[in-house]
Amino acid sequence: MPSPSPLTPLQWVICAVAALGFAFDSYELLMLPIIVRPALADLLGVAPNSLAVNEWVGTIQYVPAVAGGIFGLLGGYLTDLFGRRRVLVWSILLYAFSAMFAGMATSVGSLLFWRCCTFVGVCVEFVAAVAWLAELFTDPKQRERVIGYTQAFGSIGGLMVTGAYYLVVTYGHSLPEVRGGHEAWRYTLLSGVIPAIPLIVIRPFLPESPAWQAKKQAGTLARPSFGELFRPRFARTTIVTTVMMACAYAAAFGAIQQMPRVVPGLEEVRTLPRTAQEQVISGVQSFQEFGGLAGRVLLAFLAAIVVGRRRLLYCFQVPGLILLPLVFFLVPTAGLPLAQWGIFFVGMATIAQFSFWGNYLPRVYPTYLRGTGESFAANVGGRMIGTCAALVTTQLVASMPGATVPIKLAYASAVVGTTAYVIGFIASFWLPEPSQTDLPD
């Protein structure tokens, strides 16, 4: 098979826009585990490690995910109805400006509302971007690499927010006041407006998906339907991918994203001043993001080499199943080094699975149903069902052994994350293999 042609300048622009979108998807979502503790403490007027903060954390993590899932599902339908580019652009603008308004919040209620808007934009952007990229690059190997490597920028976004938080924690006192203070969490949220700036300039140069546009102009584009997903041709694919995406998100939200609140309870961290604690938390978060980046890049490399999709998934699913319970059960006694390196490898195994679904889903749904099918698995499974693991974890805290809330949280995270991995592994035996390398028409 001849090697694919080099990317044209326009294709590089397309990849850059997609990479920017994926990076700030993660930037917007992954800032929450870092800022939620100080943000809730400030808005509620309580201590950062109090039970009041713990009770609100699950709500702040889960309710926006439900909102994102509901409207993200609608966004996938609109992507099939009105085109990939249009929905992609508006979704990025939505999450950029809502993040800015969240930084101005004066109550937990207003923070929750704007986080819901941010989540909606992120959920819609993922579906639109994956469908757009898959249809713009027709060579199978080139398509696998483009989708894989642009999704890897999701972990770059995680590193960006980790670095941004460290900087504002350290130097925020030199920045202009926001709502009468210099809280690092506000500056971090406000920085979410950044992706809107280049997008406004680049938008006129972005092409629509040629596959979608050709069918639309010819009048042969079938109308998308959620009911179609459960007809015999697609039912197994829809059900299994929804369950497995729910498990991937449950491991992330129910365990990995809880680590920033576990770290302050470690022996070598809990006696540090607040600024020093936040700097350590930022450092541990960077280990997770470097792990996620390594996992995404490795998956992008393997996606064009490993033929079987289940075999590709097992490269990450099996190590994660072993590592996650070991890390979270042992970290309260093993301390900071295990928190750092453990979350690196657990993040590597777990975050790579998000990229897997970006590569897999376009290959199992036809053009007219691609956005709808992707959005159902990602939003109903991942965002609405999977993220409820965050709520389950926080509710389990009171029932766990341990002398402090962070230690109890580590054990609760281990239970929830391991359960998610086990269910996902069992479900993988029913995951259909795509019947062809080309996208179904």
Range of lowest pLDDT (194-203, 280-289, 396-405): 194-203
Identity of the amino acid at 47: A
State the pLDDT at residue 245. 95
CA distances (Å), origin 145, targets 140, 178, 308, 322, 432: 9, 42, 16, 28, 21
Average pLDDT across the chain, whole number: 87
Predicted TM-score of the model (pTM): 0.79
Residue 261 φ/ψ region, left for φ over 0, alpha for ψ in the -120 to 50 degree band, beta for the rest: alpha
pLDDT tens figures, 382-410: 888 998 898 899 889 989 998 888 999 99
Name the pLDDT band for 6 (thresholds 50, 70, 90).
confident
pLDDT at 1: 45
Number of domains the chain contains: 1
Report yes or no: 277 and 288 within 8 Å, Cβ to Cβ: no
pLDDT given for residue 3 in this prediction:
60
Per-residue model confidence as pLDDT tens digits over 200-239: 777 767 888 888 888 888 888 777 788 889 999 999 999 9
> Lowest mean pLDDT: which of 12-16, 191-195, 313-317?
191-195
pLDDT band at 438 (very low <50, low <70, confident <90, very high): low
Q: Is the CA virtual torsion 178, 179, 183, 186 positive or negative?
A: negative
Residue 129 within any structural domain of the chain: yes
Would residue 3 count as lying in a domain?
no
The predicted-structure confidence for 345-378, as pLDDT tens digits, reads as follows 999 999 999 989 988 988 888 888 888 888 899 8
Q: Is the pLDDT of residue 55 over 80?
A: no
User: Which pLDDT value is given to residue 77?
Assistant: 82
Confirm whether 103 is domain-assigned: yes
If one compares 45 and 318, the residue with the highest pLDDT of the two is 318
| CATH of residue 223 | 1.20.1250.20
pLDDT at 275: 82
Q: Which of 19-23, 172-176, 187-191, 417-421 has the highest mean pLDDT?
A: 417-421
pLDDT of amino acid 4: 63
- Please indicate, yes or no, if residue 439 is contained in any of the structural domains: no
Structural domain of 373: 9-430
Examine residue 4 and state whether it is found in any structural domain, yes or no.
no
- The average pLDDT across 242-265 equals 93
**Torsion angle, CA of 376/380/386/392, rounded to 10 degrees?**
180
41-61 core/surface letters (b: 16 or more CB in 10 A; e: else): bbbeeeebbeeebbebbbebb
**Residue 435 belongs to some domain of the structure:** no
Is 436 part of a structural domain of the chain? no
